[in-house]
């Protein structure tokens, strides 16, 4: 029997680690389901709706890239806690559809995994929680350091930036970020 | 049989092994799913909010109910709560304030609390009491170092102790050691202050919050070479050596309910029939027991400590009394306080001299919000008041500086139009490098002695290097006179009064947009009318120690305030001076002086102020002034830069071995301030980073047009999870376990087979 102890301990450790990782994905997936519901209610009521009663953030927009069938609900704020549940709207940046740059950030391995598949020229649809709908076209991408993003908060155009960690397949986090830049091409609703 | 058996025996172990491996794999994958979902549900249950990582630790943004926070390992745990009660009694020319701070410790730890708070600039703090349960411990005045040692010994020994220290003449720190779990400790300080008078209006100002100060970074060092030409020198030190002591944590008002609830009661015994009594920034309830007395309390009960409390009162009579004389006998000496308002010169008799006015406006980040609006309105009003034969210039500064015109220009329509556009376009941002702006304003390029040279300096004074500014004014004032305009809800009054005193000007406060016109009109009356100059005071019989020793010029509507220590109360006091070009004198018989309270303290406080000024003016060496201040402070029991009050409860309370935690109590941001303008982007910039940013900004060219500068690029958040790493590591471990398991199963089989 003592022979069995070491593999069992190893297996248990492995299970915990694996479970932990799986939990992050499960949380990200489940949160989006709850957020989707809250977001629908926001659009219906015109008020910020918290996805669960103790949440410290609320959905502000939905991003969709229809060509590759990707969609995510964006949360207010880009703290580590908010990013576990969905892409975050980086503080101090414009709202989608407003003059300036709207910056949304999310984890490369969950909600913004689809960014690697977005090609230049793809249409990015953003629906705000007040029901307004904006269409952006992806026009450039770059890799920058997190503290030298080159994103000018006072830009005068109507622009959108989606940011996530780079490289996509790395397993550890690094200082580099992938940013996808898009420009407003139309609005409706 | 045996063959059959053997054949079956050969097949059976292989099959069972395969089944076992399969079962194990199945069980494991089920377990993985189970663990994942149990973890998920448990996490959902315990709170999926900001505190997922460590549920016991709060972020500053989570405290909603006005609780104060105690810093601990980078995160915050709920901590000491503070309430303040202020009780002020005004008796004629002086007021006595009793400030009671209630420190409550709701935590399970023994805590040392530190609270940085402001007091009136001219206040003489003379009493410290600590109330623990039903015991009252009265503090003693001690030299600062000695008081520290006493306090730290008591803290180490587990005794309750309170320490009151002066950081600036208007910033004090209270430290309270060994507040037990669930305990409440009251700390009470008292101070004496003269009532301020201007024209026929009397006022008191009670600062409630220390505005965050801009502390210039000591990056650019200057070198002082020794005078003997030996070539050796020393780099001058940090302009704000005590930056940590005057920088308490500040709560972001957008994310926190205001803290530090404060209640205020003012018992106003003016000594004359009262007319209008007005609180400028708080709603109050007023009771009038008789026509010379009012009791003023806050209408809402308590307010957050986030702005100055300002109360003004006027006599019922048309004109305020122009003379006030008060006495007090303490020890073997008499103390005298005299208020004399000189007559104002008739404007018709004299054509005002043309003036050269340099306006300096602070557009640093601390002026963001309502302050910059008030400052711009004030400056535009001032520009409108200029006469065609005046000359003027405008300087704006943050951590950079612009001088509008190379030299002062005539106040004609074209120049005024340009100045108006310049001022209207100003935006509040950046640090507060006040010294270069003051230096530029004091640089007298025209040197036309037929013109009066005046500097009007609009700022909130939110800097920590006051002494550097004072030295600049002293060194460069020449014939210029400096008028300070304090802007905002919590301006640095110490900086304003001292800079105006050294610059031989006056100062005024503007706390709201509504006050702009009234206060600026008052200031312009001072600027446009000749001052009362060449003032001297002489006592006929008594030997007197008068403060201020050299009486400053007195501007229109301001009283001359004299304090004196006399050997006997006899004879009279004669004051002489010149109003415009005419001589003026007044004689006050000392016998008519009324009984006053706390005058000796006020006298000592003024003397201490004089010693500090003399030190700045280099009329006294630092050693001499320190000696004079120390003697006065110990004699009169006053807290100064060099003396502190300390109270120690001799009964030890904290059991040995229990750790003591330190708590820096956070303060509110002054009302109307813009958090982001002061501390930068909310999620990323800590004050340390802010300083670094300012340090960088200093290296930019000093003169720059006020075009919007390249803003800071946006910092992107961390956007990778450790999910994959964990899953891979977990998978590797499971595979490893599996291999071991299989290997272990194999061995007995092999041995069996053998």
Cis peptide before B194 (omega within 30 of 0): no
Report yes or no: B515 and B307 within 8 Å, Cβ to Cβ: no
The DSSP letter of residue B214 is B
Pairing outcome for strands A70-76 and A88-89: parallel
Whole-angstrom Cα distance, residue A95 to residue A129?
11
pLDDT of the residue at B234: 53
Give me the mean pLDDT over the A149-177 stretch.
Answer: 79
**Predicted confidence band of residue A76 (pLDDT cuts 50, 70, 90):** confident
Q: What is the pLDDT of residues B666-680, one digit of tens each?
A: 677 677 666 666 655
Identify which of B96, B124, B170 has the alpha carbon closest to the alpha carbon of residue B498.
B170
Smallest Cα distance from A164 to chain B, Å: 5
Lowest mean pLDDT among B55-59, B116-120, B145-149: B55-59
Smallest Cα distance from A29 to chain B, Å: 11
Whole-angstrom Cα distance, residue B350 to residue A87?
73
Longest dimension (CA), chain A: 71
Pairing outcome for strands B135-138 and B452-459: unpaired
Chain B residues closer than 8 Å to A23 by CB = 36, 39-40, 43
**Predicted confidence band of residue B711 (pLDDT cuts 50, 70, 90):** very low
Of B719, B734, B736, the CB nearest to A106: B719
Of B50, B724, B733, the CB nearest to A14: B733
CA separation (Å) from A157 to A26, A101, A140, B553, B739?
A: 37, 7, 15, 57, 59
The per-residue pLDDT of chain A, averaged, comes to 83
Give me the mean pLDDT over the A89-106 stretch.
Answer: 83
Smallest Cα distance from B271 to chain A, Å: 55
pLDDT at B591 over 60: yes
Of B682, B723, B737, the CB nearest to A24: B723
Contact A15 B32 (CB under 8 A): yes
Lowest mean pLDDT among A67-81, B9-23, B66-80: B66-80
Angle between helices B599-616 and B466-476 (to 10 degrees): 70
Whole-angstrom Cα distance, residue B174 to residue B79?
16
pLDDT of the residue at B397: 92
pLDDT at B751 over 70: no
Following DSSP, what letter does each residue of A76-145 receive, concatenated? E---HHHHTTS-EE-TTSPPTTSSEEEEEE--TTTTTGGGGGPPTT-EEEEEETTS-EEEEEEEEEEEEE
pLDDT of the residue at B688: 32
Interface test with B, best of A12, A14, A174 (most B CBs within 10 A): A14
3-state SS, residue B512: coil
Of A17, A92, A107, the CB nearest to B733: A17
Give me the mean pLDDT over the B515-531 stretch.
Answer: 83
pLDDT at B533 over 90: no
On whether any CB of chain B is under 8 Å from the CB of A56, the answer is yes
Contact A109 B723 (CB under 8 A): yes
Give me the mean pLDDT over the B187-191 stretch.
Answer: 90
Identify which of B487, B527, B525 has the alpha carbon closest to the alpha carbon of residue B508.
B487
* pLDDT, greater one: B307 or B49: B307
Give me the mean pLDDT over the B65-77 stretch.
Answer: 36
**Predicted confidence band of residue B268 (pLDDT cuts 50, 70, 90):** very high
**Predicted confidence band of residue B517 (pLDDT cuts 50, 70, 90):** confident
Identify which of B114, B127, B254, B94 has the alpha carbon closest to the alpha carbon of residue B175.
B114
pLDDT of the residue at B753: 54
Q: What is the pLDDT of residues B317-357, one digit of tens each?
A: 777 677 888 999 988 889 999 988 887 765 545 566 788 99
Give me the mean pLDDT over the B157-167 stretch.
Answer: 90
pLDDT of the residue at B346: 59
Whole-angstrom Cα distance, residue B320 to residue B92?
13
**Predicted confidence band of residue B297 (pLDDT cuts 50, 70, 90):** very high
Count of C-beta atoms within a 10 Å radius of residue B281: 18
Whole-angstrom Cα distance, residue A169 to residue B109?
46
**Predicted confidence band of residue B168 (pLDDT cuts 50, 70, 90):** confident
Residues 50-79 of B with CB under 8 A from A: 50, 52, 61-62
Contact B720 A151 (CB under 8 A): no
**Predicted confidence band of residue B231 (pLDDT cuts 50, 70, 90):** low
The DSSP letter of residue A147 is T
Chain B residues closer than 8 Å to A174 by CB = 720
pLDDT at B640 over 80: yes
On whether any CB of chain A is under 8 Å from the CB of B736, the answer is yes
3-state SS, residue B58: strand
Count of C-beta atoms within a 10 Å radius of residue B519: 21
Whole-angstrom Cα distance, residue B664 to residue B24?
56
* pLDDT, greater one: B218 or B504: B504
Chain A residues closer than 8 Å to B712 by CB = 153
Whole-angstrom Cα distance, residue B564 to residue B674?
44
* pLDDT, greater one: B306 or A12: A12
Of A13, A107, A154, the CB nearest to B720: A107
3-state SS, residue B747: helix
User: Bridge-partner residues for B297, per DSSP?
Assistant: B265, B285
Report yes or no: B486 and B516 within 8 Å, Cβ to Cβ: no
* ipTM field: 0.81
The DSSP letter of residue B488 is S
On whether any CB of chain A is under 8 Å from the CB of B722, the answer is yes
pLDDT of the residue at B196: 87
Question: Nearest chain B Cα to A25, which residue?
Answer: B723
Dihedral through CA B659, CA B106, CA B188, CA B657, nearest 10?
-10
**Predicted confidence band of residue B525 (pLDDT cuts 50, 70, 90):** confident
pLDDT of the residue at B49: 31
Q: What is the pLDDT of residues B377-400, one digit of tens each?
A: 889 988 988 888 889 999 999 888
Lowest mean pLDDT among A66-75, B45-54, B558-567: B45-54
Q: What is the pLDDT of residues A103-151, one digit of tens each?
A: 898 888 888 888 888 888 889 999 988 888 899 998 888 888 877 777 7
pLDDT of the residue at B254: 65
pLDDT of the residue at B603: 93
Q: What is the pLDDT of residues A8-43, one digit of tens each?
A: 888 888 899 889 888 888 888 888 888 888 888 888
Q: Which residues contact B276 (CB under 8 A, 6 or more apart)?
A: B312, B313, B314
* pLDDT, greater one: B172 or B27: B172
Whole-angstrom Cα distance, residue B707 to residue B748?
83
The DSSP letter of residue A34 is H
pLDDT of the residue at B691: 31
């Amino acid at each position: 029997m003592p022979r069995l102890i070491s593999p069992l301990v190893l297996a248990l450790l492995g299970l915990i680690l694996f479970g932990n990782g799986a939990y992050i994905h499960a949380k990200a997936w489940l949160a989006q389901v709850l957020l989707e519901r809250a977001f629908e209610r926001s659009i219906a009521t015109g008020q910020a709706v918290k996805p669960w009663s103790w949440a410290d953030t609320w959905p502000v927009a939905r991003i969709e890239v229809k060509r590759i069938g990707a969609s995510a609900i964006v949360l207010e704020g880009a703290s580590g806690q908010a990013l576990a549940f969905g892409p975050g709207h980086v503080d101090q940046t414009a709202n989608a559809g407003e003059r300036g740059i709207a910056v949304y950030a999310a984890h490369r391995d969950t909600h913004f995994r689809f960014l690697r598949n977005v090609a230049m020229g793809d249409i990015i649809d953003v629906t705000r929680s007040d029901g307004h709908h904006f269409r952006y076209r992806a026009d450039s991408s770059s890799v920058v350091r997190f503290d030298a993003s080159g994103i000018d908060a006072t830009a005068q155009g109507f622009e959108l930036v989606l940011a996530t960690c780079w490289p996509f397949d790395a397993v550890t986090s690094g200082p580099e970020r992938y940013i996808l830049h898009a420009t407003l091409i139309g609005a409706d609703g | 049989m045996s063959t059959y058996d053997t054949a079956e025996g050969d097949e059976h172990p292989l099959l069972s092994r395969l089944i076992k491996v399969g079962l194990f794999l199945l069980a494991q994958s089920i377990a993985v799913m189970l663990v994942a979902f149990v973890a998920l549900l448990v996490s959902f249950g315990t709170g999926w909010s900001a505190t997922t990582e460590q549920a016991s630790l709060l972020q500053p943004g989570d405290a909603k109910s006005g609780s104060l926070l105690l810093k601990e390992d980078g995160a915050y745990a709920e901590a000491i709560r503070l309430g303040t009660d202020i009780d002020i009694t005004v008796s004629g020319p002086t007021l006595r304030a009793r400030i009671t701070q209630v420190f409550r410790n709701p935590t399970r730890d023994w805590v040392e609390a530190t609270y940085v708070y402001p007091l009136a600039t001219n206040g003489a703090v003379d009493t410290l009491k600590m109330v623990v349960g039903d015991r009252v411990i009265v503090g003693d005045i001690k030299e600062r170092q000695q008081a520290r040692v006493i306090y730290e010994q008591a803290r180490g020994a587990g005794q309750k102790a309170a320490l009151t220290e002066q950081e600036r003449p208007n910033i004090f720190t209270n430290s309270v050691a060994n507040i037990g779990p669930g305990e409440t400790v009251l700390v009470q300080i008292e101070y004496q202050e003269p009532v301020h008078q201007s024209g026929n209006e009397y006022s008191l100002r009670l600062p409630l919050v220390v505005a965050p100060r801009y502390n210039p970074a000591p990056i650019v060092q200057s070198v002082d070479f020794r005078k003997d030409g030996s070539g050796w020198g020393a780099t001058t030190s940090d302009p704000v050596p005590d930056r940590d002591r005057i920088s308490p944590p500040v709560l972001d008002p957008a994310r926190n309910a205001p803290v530090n609830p404060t209640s205020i009661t003012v018992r106003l015994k003016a000594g004359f029939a009262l007319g209008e009594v007005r609180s400028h920034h708080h709603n109050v309830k007023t009771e009038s027991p008789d026509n010379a007395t009012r009791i003023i309390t806050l209408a809402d009960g308590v307010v957050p400590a986030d702005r100055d409390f300002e109360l003004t009162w006027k006599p019922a009579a048309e004109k305020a009394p122009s003379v006030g004389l008060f006495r007090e006998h303490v020890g073997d000496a008499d103390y005298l306080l005299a208020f004399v308002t000189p007559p104002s010169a008739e404007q018709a008799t004299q054509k005002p001299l043309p003036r050269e006015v340099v306006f300096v406006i602070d557009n640093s980040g601390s002026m963001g919000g309502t302050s910059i609006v008030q400052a711009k309105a004030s400056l535009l009003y001032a520009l409108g008041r200029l006469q065609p034969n005046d000359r003027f210039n405008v300087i704006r500064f943050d951590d950079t500086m612009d001088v509008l015109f190379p030299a002062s220009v005539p106040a004609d329509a074209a120049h005024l139009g340009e100045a108006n556009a310049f001022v209207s376009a100003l935006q509040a941002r950046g640090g507060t490098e006040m010294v270069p702006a003051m230096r530029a304003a004091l640089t007298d390029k025209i040197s036309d002695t037929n013109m009066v040279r005046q500097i009007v300096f609009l700022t909130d004074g939110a800097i920590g290097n006051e002494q550097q500014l004072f030295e600049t004014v002293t060194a460069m004032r020449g014939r210029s006179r400096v008028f300070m305009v304090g802007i905002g809800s919590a301006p640095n009054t110490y900086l304003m009064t001292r800079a105006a005193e050294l610059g031989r000007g006056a100062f005024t406060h503007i706390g709201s947009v509504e006050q702009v016109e009234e206060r600026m009109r008052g200031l312009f009356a001072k600027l446009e009318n000749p001052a009362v100059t060449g003032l001297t005071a002489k006592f006929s019989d008594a030997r007197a120690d008068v403060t201020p020793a050299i009486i400053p010029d007195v501007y229109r509507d301001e009283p001359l305030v004299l304090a004196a220590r006399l050997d006997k109360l006899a004879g009279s006091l004669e004051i002489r001076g010149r109003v415009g070009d005419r001589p003026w004198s007044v004689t006050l018989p000392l016998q008519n002086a009324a009984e006053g309270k706390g005058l000796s303290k006020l006298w000592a406080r003024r003397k201490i102020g004089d010693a500090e000024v003399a030190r700045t003016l280099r009329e006294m060496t630092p050693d001499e002034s320190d000696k004079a201040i120390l003697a006065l402070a110990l004699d009169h029991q006053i807290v100064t830069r060099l003396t502190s009050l300390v109270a120690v409860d001799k009964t030890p309370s904290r059991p040995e071995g229990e750790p003591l935690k330190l708590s820096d109590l956070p303060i509110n941001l002054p009302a109307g301030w813009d958090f982001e303008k002061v501390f930068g982007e909310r999620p990323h910039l800590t004050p340390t980073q802010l300083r670094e940013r300012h340090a960088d900004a200093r290296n930019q060219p000093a003169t720059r047009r006020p075009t919007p500068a390249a803003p800071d690029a946006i910092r992107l958040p961390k956007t990778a999870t450790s999910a994959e790493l964990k899953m891979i590591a977990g998978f590797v471990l499971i595979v490893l376990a599996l291999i071991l398991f299989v290997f272990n199963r194999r061995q007995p089989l092999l041995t069996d087979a053998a």
